[in-house]
Amino acid sequence: PVTWLDIDGLGDADVIEQVGKIFKLHPLALEDVVNVHQRPKVEMYGDYLFVIARSHSEVDGRTEADSDVDALDMRQVAMFLGRNFVITFRERGVDCFDEVRRRIRTNRGRIRESGADYLLYTLLDAVIDEFFPALEKHGESLDSLDDLISASCEQDLIHRIHNVRSELRMIRRAIWPLRDAINTLIRDSGDLISDETDLYLRDCYDHTVQIIDVIETDRELCADLRDYYLTVVSNRMNQIMKFLTIIATLFIPLTFVAGLYGMNFNTNVSSLNMPELNWTYGYPFALAVMTATTLAMIWYFQRKGWLSS
């Protein structure tokens, strides 16, 4: 028989100490259990193995529009593998072992016919598989951000891209050392893990490599989306500046004509002092000159292609 002791929460130090005495667990390992900010790793302690992994969990009430870095949390899961027992210490709020319990209760698969090493593999596989839905959600979020950037450049889009990239970085920090830990289990586990279970652990290793590949691809996509966002913003700013420049350019000759007529030379002193001021059609003539100048400039800009988007 195999005993699986699953402890939810790390708030009761007496319980953890009693478990350590019953199963003769090393105090340093129990210290790593309580200090939850540990890097995923595998350590040998004589007749048992000590494994630390990090499980992904999401905070409820999160929406795509207000995605924050704090919405994604990484919780520690510590595991001890003995000859005929497995002990798991989970931070409260993390439970990805429901499917494992269901398989044990319903006698599905070979979990009840195998040893403690196979149970450890099943638990590690459950922890790793929790990352795939999160990565799929991030991929869908990046696709929607790509569409939103093409449609509009809202100011919160760059913030949301940064949040997705930060969450991917957190997942990478959790899964990258876990890959090395599983590799250590395969190579240096001694006789605690059978050769048959090593084959299943290699499948776990392949899953971690697959997760890392997806993370790296999504991180590159985040960088591309950020550059795309800045390019679109810059292009739209250039279009606005282009429009304003054209308007200002059109008004430059009109301002010149209006300024010329505003010099107010005295026409009684000389017949050369702006004689059109006393002309019957002087004002319509000035308006016609302004209109003709504007139309000529618009025609010239259109011919040069400066008015096209």
- The answer to whether the CB of 91 falls within 8 A of the CB of 36 is yes
Q: What is the distance between the alpha carbons of residues 120 and 128, in angstroms, rounded to a whole number?
A: 12
Q: Please choose, from the candidates 40, 7, 41, the residue with its C-alpha nearest in 3D space to the C-alpha of residue 22.
A: 7
User: What does the angle CA 275 – CA 279 – CA 284 come to, to the nearest 5 degrees?
Assistant: 115
Tokens of 273: 């002092």
The model's confidence at residue 226, banded by pLDDT at 50, 70 and 90, is: confident
Q: What is the pLDDT of residue 71?
A: 54
CA distances from residue 204 to 175, 182, 184 in whole angstroms, order as listed:
11, 7, 12
Q: Does the structure show a pLDDT above 50 at 69?
A: no
**77-92 exposure pattern, b = at least 16 Cβ within 10 A, e = fewer:** bbbbbbeebbbbbbbe
Does pLDDT of 66 surpass 60? no
pLDDT at 215 over 70: yes
pLDDT top residue among 301 and 17: 17
- Any idea what DSSP says for residue 39? P
Write the CA distances from 13 to 29, 87, 232, integer angstroms.
Answer: 14, 16, 55
> Quick check: pTM over 0.75?
no
Mean pLDDT score of the chain: 84
CB atoms within 10 A of CB 17: 13
Per residue in 288-298, pLDDT (tens digit) is: 888 898 899 88
φ, ψ at 72 (rounded to 5°): -105, 130
Q: Please tell me the least confidently modeled range out of 105-114, 145-154, 197-206.
A: 145-154
Kind plus residue range of the DSSP H or E element containing 184: helix 156-188
| pLDDT at position 61 | 41
| Range ranked top by mean pLDDT from 1-15, 180-194, 227-241 | 1-15
In the structure, what pLDDT confidence band is assigned to residue 153 with cuts at 50, 70 and 90?
low
| Mean pLDDT, rounded, for 182-194 | 82
For the cut 50, the answer to whether the pLDDT of residue 67 exceeds it is no
> Between 131-151 and 156-188, two packed helices, what is the crossing angle to 10 degrees?
150
**Kind of pairing between the strands at 48-58 and 72-81:** antiparallel
